[in-house]
Structure 1
């Protein structure tokens, strides 16, 4: 683990699976305004649950009240860790006298950084797969790990997962990427290009 991961990642190291999934959702729905309604989070979870590990399709989430209750408890735990706080005022309106106070949450600075870090972790496999898919959509059938990581950087930058290229390079090592490429079934081969031998991956995988 790098120094960056030890320092900035410590805030969510002990979080459970559901807390990390919630933080990932919160990261994406609070990109511009760090205030969200409880219904926004529930809707986002229901619509996008199928892309996250351990989360069933939306219909199953809606039917499984026990699972929804577990996510609600995870939300309370995030609040208790000061990642979230009840929103008391919005647009100059005091919410203490309204029912809305119970449903509006504000993401703290600590919470938003924890959400960014959780999103990196939860979406690791997704980022690698999307990078590979970008090549295959262009008709590219072989790429080096450096080329794959460049696509991963572009994806991560677009999603706001890293504040800088330096952060990205500290988080993603070639070894880490290689493990995921192996896990998704890509074959590693060598190719001679302009007289030099390069190691890379065959990208023609049925998905």
Structure 2
């Protein structure tokens, strides 16, 4: 009985020691596991924050580089477009000035030709008038000799009327031709100016 009691007591002691050791080991294992988890989570979070910082810094740097490149290209393109536009405007203005000079020169030539023709026609009309007056006066003198002054005066008035009507018709024809030429020249000048102005707007 005593031996059984001693054995049971020892068995209980051993069981108590084993359970205590087991609980201590479980506590140690759990504590070490929690420490390892905490350390691992801290390392993972620190690495994640480092990676996020690197990624964000790289993105910011790339955005800055891309913005700088895009802005530089945009400024270059704007400068090229403005230079081309200025060249086109200069060419259009030079062409407009040349066309205006050509139109004005042709207008002056036409005016000079019309004035010269008007003077020539006026000279011919006056010469015809003087000839007719001379003929009328000569016929008047002849008719005076035969005492036919009434017929001579009627013929003189008819000839003067005919000469004046011819002179007026010539002057009217010359003035109408001058006005038509001036209208054609001004219409061509306005068309050239409109074409020159519409050119820069289309560009």
| TM-score between both structures, scaled by the size of structure 2 | 0.20
Larger Rg: 2
| Higher helix proportion (structure 1 or 2) | 2
| TM-score between both structures, scaled by the size of structure 1 | 0.20
Structure scoring higher RCO (CA < 8 A, sep ≥ 6) equals: 2
